[in-house]
Amino acid sequence: MGLPLVSPHYVYTHTGLPLRQGMVVVATDEHDAKVILPNNPTKKLWLFIYWGQIQERMLKFFENPAFIVLIASMFSNNTAIGQQSSQQWKLVWNDEFEYTGLPDDRKWNYDVGGHGWGNNELEYYTAKRMQNARVENGHLIIEAIREAMEGKEYSSARLVTRDRASWNHGKIEVRAKLPKGLGTWPAIWMLADTRPLKWPEDGEIDIMEHVGYDQGRVHGTIHTLKYNHTIGTQKANQINVNNCSEEFHTYQLEWSQDTLKIGMDNQYYFTYTNEGSGYSAWPFNNKHYLILNVAVGGNWGGSKGVDTTIWPQRMVVDYVRVYQKN
């Protein structure tokens, strides 16, 4: 089925990002799209298909990262492309990792230290150390290594957007492949951007956690003063992802005024709703910043022990994207 052209004016109207003169985007069928440039070869991009429908996605023109193209939802019943909801998601922050070296300092900061991080973790988190956090081949690598580091037996990295960016409400997508093995504990999560932070009063959102002794089970969790793991009341759910260490999956949070939904690959398996009992149960009007890390051992990750023969282990991140409603 042929699908309509997307003009540069349409892209500018819906993204605020102008395209070069003469550039158009053509959706040739349900499975791919092309950017056509004057005097340049066609460049194929990606579309994502769900239930026979082309969902709204950001497509990147790889030859020039300044151009980000939005192809709006196009349905198999030939719904007009101009019929757009005023409440559609708009990309407001992202890192596609299309560079090489240390993570972009304009977007990422570091938590540094080896004090156990409240969980008796075994690693020392470093800053701006390529062995533990680097970008290569279009991916962010966060790598835990067994080595002597500042009195600890392991080194790793914990990247944060604190002092760079934080959000309250929106949609977050992190496409990642997880480490594997006894003692690994990767996480994609958020803490409140409050100063000073009071935990758990100010909130925590765990978009993805995985512990190596329970391979293939991914957890989504929230923590508040009323609901947190220290008193055994945390709100959580799990999903089985047998190939989470072999294949990339997109770990997601949708966050509205009164609801948090945590999912993977557009399958939302955990929902937490504001019960109306106050700040102790809903601190999620606070802005939160994003955290990506690989812990070693700890109260949960190391509760069945740590295999000392499996290291190094890495979490590989394809992209991080944050959307908000127009």
Which positions are catalytic? 204, 209
- Is residue 39 packed enough to be buried (19+ CB in 10 Å), middle (13-18) or exposed (0-12)? exposed
Sign of CA dihedral 116, 119, 121, 124: negative
